[in-house]
Structure formats: structure tokens, C-alpha cells
Amino acid sequence: MDKQQIFDEIQTALVNLFELSPEQIKPESKLFEELDLDSIDAVDLVVHLQKKIGKKVDPETFKAVRTVQDVVDSVDKLVNN
């Protein structure tokens, strides 16, 4: 799974889980400020991603993410390392 595929999966998840429009979701989009997610939304996203990639996402790692690209990079490290 390359970074574009990961971004596409995250974008789809954000659209389906939180009713965002795909146009709102860019790599530089800030999850909490621009996309208006809260901590419960972040947990929902982590659970969704864990199911999709089949690996456990460390909550401590995920606490540092601020943008969609941060999520892509974190998932990429899990999947491709």
C-alpha cells in the first residue's frame, strides 16, 4: 500500500464516517481545526484504520497527528515497515 492508496483510504473513511466532502480533505488539512474532528472522532478513525490495515495503531503515535498527511505517514510506517 503506497502513500496515495493510504490517503485515498483515509479520505474515504473521513467522508463515510464524518460526512465530510472529498474536496475538504487535502494532505495539509488540519484534522481538528479545519475538518472539525474531536477526540472521539479520532478514536473512530483509528478503529476504522486498524480494521482496514489489519494492524494495531498505537494511540501514543496517533496523539501527535495534526494533519491528514500526519495520518498518512503514521499508517505508512505501520504498513510498510
Per-residue pLDDT of 29-54, as tens digits, reads: 999 999 999 989 998 999 999 999 89
Largest CA distance in the chain: 31
In this structure, CATH architecture of domain 3-80: Orthogonal Bundle (1.10)
Contact of 81 with 42, CB cutoff 8 Å: no
Where b means 16+ CB within 10 Å and e means fewer, 35-51 reads bebeeebbeebbebbee
Query: How do the domains of the chain map onto residue ranges?
Result: 3-80
| pLDDT of amino acid 59 | 76
pTM of the model: 0.90
